[in-house]
Structure 1
Amino acid sequence: MATSAQLREQIAAGRWDGPLAALYGTAPQELARQRARYCAALEQFELYFGPGRQVQVYSAPGRAELGGNHTDHQHGYGLAAAVTLDLVAVAARNTDGYVRVKSRGFNKLDVIDLATAEPQEGESTHSASLIRGIAEGFRTAGKAIGGFDAYTASDVLRGSGLSSSAAFEIGMACIWNGEYACGLDARALAGICQYAENTYFGKPSGQLDQLASAVGGVIFADFADPAAPQVEKIHADGLLPPGMTLCVTDTRGSHSELTGEFAAIRQEMEAVAACLGGKVLGQVPETDFWAALPRLRTACGDRAVLRAIHYYEENARTLAQRRALLEKRFADFAALVLESGRASFALCQNVYCATDVRHQGLSVALALSQSILQGSSGAWRMQGGGFAGTIQAYVPETLLQRYHTAMERVFGPGSCYVLRLREQGARQVL
């Protein structure tokens, strides 16, 4: 194990180009950017936690949701891919039983006393609650853990739909797993992180985001048993055909303050399920739902009914997307992407907030994408929880420059990202 200063010297000299290239590609410009980024993170660690510490560096990727919008929390299917935008964490063990985390772009230093396990008043919806919840998840799994100091630098857009929260959570879990030799696999880490987000942070999310960050590549997940989801890894190089690129555009409207809107989707779906004797829609046969439709409209309201229809259709669509990817039928996959996007508007109703109709950045981005890509082999849809954040688009390379220029003209410089997929899940890098 090297000190932070020694690692900086080694990175600058190119000695770690191999591990960096495995994560970010071999393009000289990208390697130079990552060398500078890692060196800066190490330098910032020294600034906050002192020089001479022996450290390790961890990486946890963001993810692009490919299919299964709001299906995972109903015990359905999910499809997602890890991307090269990631969180990097420089970490060192300590012996005082505290976790201290400083994150780039945030003024606050999170300080968590591990002797206090239960959720703390006023801490929910803040990063400290996630750290405390993940620690408790490790202890519940029978793992002995201790304190650490860490500095994090994330390229995953906050509140954007690329799941910066899952990257942060999995990054913290990787630190404990590595620093204290806990030996948990990617699925176990994802489960712990979902527990922290649900119980301590207060967001009723599913587990697809954490699994995608932990496992890497393209994953298809079956959440029929959410305590032990079945995960199939599809290699990332099988997603895009030659001449096709995946773009995400940040509409610069954060969804980080929209927990209530996300929670309502789950609550309304589960209200429908409860009327039919289930806890979640995955436990209710679709035929039972359609047979009870008149009664459900009265008992739950039309929006809840429409969101339940979205679940059943999106779940079947996600299974069809998996088959299309495995059989390398991208045209069929793209058609399903478009169907999913239309369902977000009409059924799930999570493209914009009905209480804030002046701000509909996702709708504008989708309309602009349609104006450019309609009639091509491309596709476009909202991704993530919705209401704000990002859209994704599959853009033929012949239209890429036009598309990129148009999106950044409307949403600002740096808003449109050309993504590369990442085969590797979260891990210790250096």
Structure 2
Amino acid sequence: MGSTDDNVPAFGVEIRKEFMLRENSVFLNHGSYGSMPRCVHERQVRYLAELESHPDIWFRYNMYKYLANSRSKVAEFMGVQADDTFLLQNVTKAINTVMKTFPLKSGQAYLITSLTYGAVQVTSHSTVSRVEGAKIEKMNIPFPITSDDSIVETYEDFLTKHPDVKLAVIDHITSPTSVIMPVKRITEVCHKHGVVVVVDAAHVPGQLKVDIQDIDADFYTGNLHKWVFCPRSCAFIWMNPKRHHTWFKPLVTSAFDNDSLHDGFAYEGTKDDTPYLCTTDGIAYYNRIGGMDKIVQHNSTLVTKGLAYLEEKWKTKRLAIPEHMEAPCLRILHLPFIPGFSDRLGDECTDVFKGKVNLELQKLILDQFDVQIAVVIIEGHLMIRVAAQVYNTMEDFIKLGEAVLVLSKQKK
């Protein structure tokens, strides 16, 4: 996918000049919010200027033409049909939309796992609390993970024992643990048990080659502002035309509610849709600098080398999963013992989404060393998630390694 323009700067120090990242900062956390190049940002500014030049022309006429074009470009990029594709701000909203419009009844359940993203866990609990007698079933996926088969078997056993499950959220790449899940096989198991499937693919667009239609989930949703150089907030959700669900509606009921489903999603009231419009520019930039093959090769090679360096420097190990289940641009590594942080991990910090120790350490590394990474707690252990993008270099990993080593040698 994509072809390299002869004028594209070399990845690393040179191409970083095309981004607006703070000078001399180490940014190894592209996976959280992304970073768009200056050319995409400038295009968004031009759209905003056009809006302000005549708001009525924008909101009554031009916006819909632009949105239809962007939706077509996104669908083409993801290998699906535009008629089945809808644009939303982010994957969290997309999954909220599915969960909160699903006709959940008393005695039925939603399925999440110990690796489900925190916002989705909160959403699922909030949603079922509105239906008396409904509940959440949470399936544990412990580490080490040994194989795809072990994951699929866990789903089969769990759904056999829990026939109350009617909808499941499946991560394609788990966040923040960065595990590539066997989504097609899990989807087959879920459908065998009569379970509707929504795939949380927040990190997939721009990072993995994927055949969404072959996976055959009911819904598939991914962010475009993470790995496709688009503005925040910009995502899509695909609804399987073979598994059309008439209950699927926008969360916001607008004047367009009685028109087409696309009109309902396109207009939820007055809001800034310029991030959606710039998907064409983000995708164009992604392809211009080389497309998936070149970008992912660079990022994967760099993050593999970087983690090997950190493992040796810190004398720690990466997360215990098979190599083929590691996300290409996102990886997880144990931190060394850090006084004042590692010794504060207790029962209240035993899963990814509890406790503040990780956030405090993440902020300390940023404040003292201007190094940005994601610090996470997995099964009671402090780890880091590093995300490599085309503007990163090995020097970034060296600076991260030194920063953590300094903290590990400080007295409490």
Please report the TM-score for the alignment, with normalisation by the length of structure 1.
Answer: 0.23
> Where is the strand percentage greater, Structure 1 or Structure 2?
1
Please report the TM-score for the alignment, with normalisation by the length of structure 2.
Answer: 0.24
